[in-house]
Amino acid sequence: MDKIAIAAEGGQSFDAYVARPSKASAGVVVVIQEIFGVNESMRETCRKIAEMGFIAIAPDLFWRIERNVNITDKSEAEWKKAFALFNAFDFEKGIADLKATLAAARTLPGANGKAGTIGYCLGGRLAFMMAEQSDSDVNVSYYGVGLDALLGNIGKVRAPLIVHIADEDEFFPAEGRAQVVAASKSNTHVSAYTYPAVMHAFAREGGVHYDARAATIANGRTAEALVAALD
């Protein structure tokens, strides 16, 4: 089975896609979606994380708005829908759902009790927030937007936080990106990396702005952080 239900507040539940490794005991990575939902790109990311020897679980964070959103970045209509979902998204409830997913992740069959997050775009912002607000063992943020608004709590980060920043991110102004890089130096748990000449979503394989070199470097840093924290 590649889906499980996660209990939410109020007696409701939401779906989460799960990809499992071949090893018997593994750390768990909560994969946090982009504004396109838990689509094929996110599921493929989960499968690749599973190939690295981790259990990967991607919760449906748009379930309160629309369940099982599955769109891409390939058409204007899909982008319009994605931004409508983003604008309707409640970050506080999203963090509550992620904390519920993290707690469930630690007790999944085959889990070793260690769990972290990795997020992209919308998920990149949420991974940064989870680093500040949860007991996650490691957090990785890919091209999160609006991270400069979260810097007041960067001192609360107590586990490794890796921040991947696109140097030409069209959704995150240069001034805000620079503030994140500067603030990261105030906390030894935080490492921020900037990738030159790439745009938002440079690590989305098959995406319109995918950059193989930057993605490979970023993914290597991510892999090292996950292994160090979750094995």
| Cα–Cα distance, 5 to 104 (Å, whole number) | 10
The reply to whether 189 belongs to the active site is no
List 60, 97, 137, 169, catalytic entry = 169
Residue 176: helix, strand or coil by DSSP?
A: helix
List 97, 200, 209, 211, catalytic entry = 200
- Residue 92, number of CB atoms within 10 A of its CB: 8
**Exposed/middle/buried for residue 44 (C-beta within 10 Å: 0-12, 13-18, 19+):** middle
The reply to whether 200 belongs to the active site is yes
Residue 6: helix, strand or coil by DSSP?
A: strand
**Exposed/middle/buried for residue 24 (C-beta within 10 Å: 0-12, 13-18, 19+):** exposed
User: C-alpha distances in angstroms, 92 versus 97, 98, 138, 207, 221?
Assistant: 9, 10, 20, 28, 29
Cβ 173 vs Cβ 200: under 8 Å: no
**Catalytic annotation, residues:** 169, 200
